[in-house]
Amino acid sequence: MSLYFNFSPGWWIIVGLLTAIWIGLWIYRRVFSLKELKQQIITGLITVALTIVVETIAISLHLWDYPSGNWPAVLWLAYFIVGLGAYHVVKLVIGQEKK
């Protein structure tokens, strides 16, 4: 399986919406520090690693496949941004439990 860089422009809408949600959550939490950014990046990278494993297993088990047989590289960017947003959601939930 190879990477596919010629993907639909609709992917950029998805990436844009995910980025807007991430920025919105970051502004809502009002925590702007270098340590916080590092933790978000680590969470995003872990998310990418986990989703690559899941995608590889699912494709090898023929649960789904991609029409051209290639994996769109934009998925990695989308998965990373989802990880950034998930970090804020978890922090919000943890903050609610402490109250």
The mean per-residue pLDDT over the stretch 53-78 comes to: 81
Per the model's pLDDT, the better-predicted residue between 52 and 73 turns out to be: 52
**Structural domain count, the chain:** 1
pLDDT tens, position by position, 24-56: 998 998 888 899 889 999 999 999 999 989 988
Residue 37 lies in a domain: yes
Tokens of 55: 């995608």
In a domain, 26, yes or no: no
Q: Which DSSP symbol is given to 63?
A: S
Under the banding of pLDDT at 50, 70 and 90, the label for residue 99 is low
Is residue 6 in a domain?
no
Q: How far apart, in Å, are the Cα atoms of 41 and each of 3, 47, 52, 59?
A: 23, 10, 16, 27
pLDDT band at 4; cut points 50, 70, 90: low
Strand partners, 72: 4
Range of 59's domain? 33-99
Q: DSSP string spanning 26-54?
A: HHHHT---HHHHHHHHHHHHHHHHHHHHH
- Whether 10 is covered by a domain: the verdict is no
pTM (whole model) above 0.95 = no
